[in-house]
Amino acid sequence: MGNLKEIRNRIKTVKSTRKITSAMSRIASAQLVKAQNAATSARPYGERLEQVVSDLMSGIDADESLNPLLASPAEVKTVGLVVLTADRGLCGGFNANINRATKNFVKQKTAEGVKVEIIAVGRKSESYLRHEGIAITSKHPAPELKTIVDVSKAVCAETVAMFTGSKDTGLPHVDGFYLLYNHFKNVLVQEVTNLPLLPFTPAEGEAGGLTPVFEPDPKALLEHLLPVALESRVQQAMFNSVASEIASRRMAMDSATDNATELIGDLTLEYNRERQAAITKELMEIIGGAEALK
């Protein structure tokens, strides 16, 4: 009977776990719609903004367009990397894929003789990098839909300060910046993407193909729009990262719920077999005792 009690307790525990994973899956499903809409809605603005920046850059001379965010160093000795992960787990390979890509990036750049300064966004990247012995220059909490604007502004302020060599911040100087995040394609597919941030280069194919007239002048507009375009690029990455995290959590919880259901079925079958064996044993003992009395 001790074995039967143990199996009953296991069934009860797995059922409780299934309730939790099922609830988390439903919550993620409700959040996913909002996150997916936010990520999709942010794309047209970012694409149009990059098109305007591309038109501005093509409409002025190279010497005039030498903005600090466009300057390419003669030699790359140090690069910065912004890593986007989550503050929580239970979302499948969402964090692990980014952390693995981060480690490979650092290993590759180190082999090339280039130092990497990392800005960790999300506790999961911070804890992983510290465990691997990789130094972190700065850290930020993982963005949520309501905090993406604030987090992106803080991250962009640090990247610009490090790239332009601002000394009053106390941050190290870098010759380029990259952004590593999960790009949301659909609920089933989230792709690890390494996006170049600085020096700023408009995405290919974004030019409008026209010769627009800008006022007051293209150079002044470019100085204003480049930081805005940089923030927009980081915000879009964060929208994609949040949507990818929620989608990964939903898939992981769905899989956990299915596994729990299957395990409950197996345990129930085992319980019935053990119970039947115990009843058969008792019947045999009763029959044996009755035969002995004859």
pLDDT in tens, 212-246: 555 666 677 777 788 888 888 898 899 999 988 89
Which pTM does this prediction carry? Answer: 0.81
Coil, strand or helix: which one is 287? Answer: helix
Amino acid, single-letter form, for residue 183? H
> Per the CATH hierarchy, to which homologous superfamily does domain 51-250 belong?
ATP synthase, F1 complex, gamma subunit (3.40.1380.10)
Question: What's the CA gap between 274 and 175, in Å, rounded?
Answer: 68
Q: Return d(Cα 176, Cα 197) in angstroms, integer.
A: 8
Annotated catalytic residue: which of 28, 86, 91, 242? 91
Q: How large is the greatest C-alpha to C-alpha distance in the chain, in angstroms?
A: 115
Structure tokens at 44: 């047209």
SS3 211: coil
Does residue 234 contact residue 242 with C-beta atoms inside 8 Å? no
- 156 counts as catalytic: no
Kindly provide the b/e burial profile for residues 150-163, where b requires at least 16 CB atoms within 10 angstroms of the residue's own CB.
ebbebbbebbbbbb
DSSP bridge pairs for 82: 119, 179
Answer whether residue 124 shows pLDDT above 50.
yes
pLDDT digits (tens, 9 = 90+) for 67-83: 777 777 778 888 999 99
